Structure 1
Amino acid sequence: MVRAKPTALLVDLDGVLRRWDPAVPTAIESAFGLAEGALLDTAMAWHRLRPAITGEITHDEWMSSVAAALGAPDAVAKWQEYRGEVDPEVLAFIGEARASGVPVGLATNATDRLDADLDLLGLTDAFDAVVNSSVVGAHKPAKEYFAAACTALRTPPDRVLLIDDSDRVVRGARVARLLAYRWTDPADLKYLRASLVECP
C-alpha cells in the first residue's frame, strides 16, 4: 500500500534547525575547572531534564539544579548565555515549504525559555505552529505529544512528516502513524524537498 504524500511538516529544533558549537561549553568548563562534558552531562540527566521539558519546573529552576550539582553557578550562567545558531539551509527549506502552502510546525522538547530563544534567533514568525513539550505536558516521542502536534497543524497523522535527529523520536512518530525522517545533515534536504513535490 502506497502512503499518501505529506501535506504538513513538523521540524525538530535542536540538532536540525538549531546547531550548537561543542567548543563553547568545552571552553567554559576549562575556564571554570570543570571536567569536559560536565555541563551537558549534568543538565541532560533525565531526572533533571524531564521535569523541565514537561513544564513541571521552569528553565531557571532546571539550571539552578545543574549549578547546585556542579557547585559552579557562574559556569552555568556563562553557558546559558550561548543559545546556539540557526542553520540557514534548514530555515530556507521551511520558508519554501510554507510558501508552497505546506504548513510547518516546530516540534521540540523544550522549556519555558523557548519563546525567548525563538525571538533571539529570529524565528518568532518562522512557523505556523509551535509545539513545545513543556506547554503540552508531554515530550517526544509520547503519543500524546504527537497528537497535540497534529491537532496544532490541523492535519491527520498520516499526512504529517516529522524531521528529527533522534532515532527514538522517529520510531515513536511512526508508531503514532506519522511519516518520519531521520535527519543527519543538510544534504537530506534534497530528498525532503522531493518528498513534498507531489503534495496535493
Structure 2
Amino acid sequence: MSATVSAVVFDLGGVITESPMTAFAAYEAEAGLPDGLIRRLNSTDPDANAWARYERGELDTAGFCAAFEAEALAAGHRVDARRVLAALAGELRPAMLAAVAALREAGVPLALLSNNVAPMERTGRLGDLLGVFDAVVESSVEGVRKPEPEIYERALQRLSEAVRRPVTASDCAYLDDLGINLKPARALGMHTIKVVDPAVALAELSDLVGLDLAGAGR
C-alpha cells in the first residue's frame, strides 16, 4: 500500500472515545427533554454560546452551568448542566487505540486536537494514551477552539516542533466526528475523514497512510 499522507491528527470525543451524543440522548430521554435538544443548544450562536466560551476557557464550570441552563430555559426547557457535562466522559474505542498504537510503531507523527472544557489528566488510561501523541492541542489550554482555523494551524506548528521537521496540512489526515470541524481542516489542505462508523473511518485512514489499520486490533 502506498501512502498519501505522512502524519495523522485525531479528534478525541466521538473518534478515539465513544461519542457523547449517545449519552446526551440518554439524559434527554431520562429527563423528558426533546430529542436532540442539547445538540441544538450547542449549535445556536455556536461561536459565542455557553459551550463555546467554556471550551475556550472563558467560563469556569459554575459560569458554564449558569449560562447553559439559562440558554436552555430561554428555549423553554430546564436542563441540569452538570449532567450534560458528565456525558462527555466516553469510553475508549479499542479499535482506535490499536490503530493509534500501530501508527506510533510505524513512526507516523501523531497529534491529538480536542475541544474540551478543562486540561486533560495526564494520569491513568487517558494519560497513557496522551503519551503516545507527539503533540496534544486542547481548546481549554489554547483559548481557541474548533472550528476556528487558528487551532488547526497550532496543531501543525506543535507537531512540526515535536518531530523537528515541517509538517504541512497536506501531509496530514484529520479525523473528526463533526462535519463543521472538518471543513476548516479541509480548507487548509488536510485529508479529512468523518468518523461515523469507526471501522469505515479506519479503512479510509488505512488507504491514506498505506498501513492496514483496520486489522491492527486483531
TM-score category (smaller protein): 0.7 to 0.9
Quick one: distance in 1 between partners of 2:63 and 2:117? Answer: 10
Q: Tell me the CA shift for residue 36 of structure 1.
A: 4.1
Aligned to 1:167: 179
TM-score normalised to structure 2 length: 0.72
Instruction: Output the CA distance in 2 between the equivalents of 1:33 and 1:42.
Output: 16
Give the unaligned 5+ runs of structure 1.
none
Structure 1-normalised TM-score? Answer: 0.78
The answer (yes or no) to whether the contact 2:51–2:68 under 8 Å persists in 1 is no
CA shift, 1:109, in A, is: 1.9
Give the conservation status (yes or no) of the 8 Å contact 1:85–1:121: no
State percent identity of aligned pairs.
25
Partner residue of 1:51 out of 53, 63, 70: 53
| Structure 2 letter corresponding to 1:51 | R
For residue 102 of structure 1, what is the amino acid of its counterpart?
A: V
Residue matched to 1:111? 117
DSSP 3-state at the match of 1:85: coil
1:124 has 2:130 as partner: yes
What SS class does the counterpart of residue 130 from structure 2 fall into?
Answer: coil
Question: Structure 2: where are the runs of 5+ without partners?
Answer: 161-166, 212-218
Q: Is the 8 A contact 1:43 1:63 kept in 2?
A: no
Alpha-carbon distance in structure 1 between the residues aligned to 2:109 and 2:94: 19
- Contact kept? 1:160, 1:179, Cα under 8 Å: yes
- Please state how far the C-alpha of 1:91 moved relative to its aligned partner: 1.5
- Aligned match of 2:215: none
The offset of 1:102, in angstroms, is: 0.6
Q: Are the structure 2 counterparts of residues 153 and 34 from structure 1 closer, same or farther at C-alpha, using a change threshold of 3 Å?
A: same
* SS of residue matched to 1:86: coil
Give a deviation string over 1:67-126, Cα, whole Å, max 9, x none.
3445757x33344334111111111111111110012111122222x4049857453324
Q: Deviations over 1:1-52 (max 9, x none)?
A: xxx8322110111221121365644444455454444444445542112212
1:134 matched residue in structure 2:
140
1:197 to 195, 210, 214: 210
The size of the alignment, in residue pairs, is 193
Residues 7 and 159 in structure 1, CA contact (< 8 A), matched pair in contact too: yes
Compared with structure 1, are the counterparts of its residues 42 and 130 closer, same or farther at alpha carbon in structure 2 (3 Å cutoff)?
Answer: same
The one-letter code matched in structure 2 to 1:63 is C
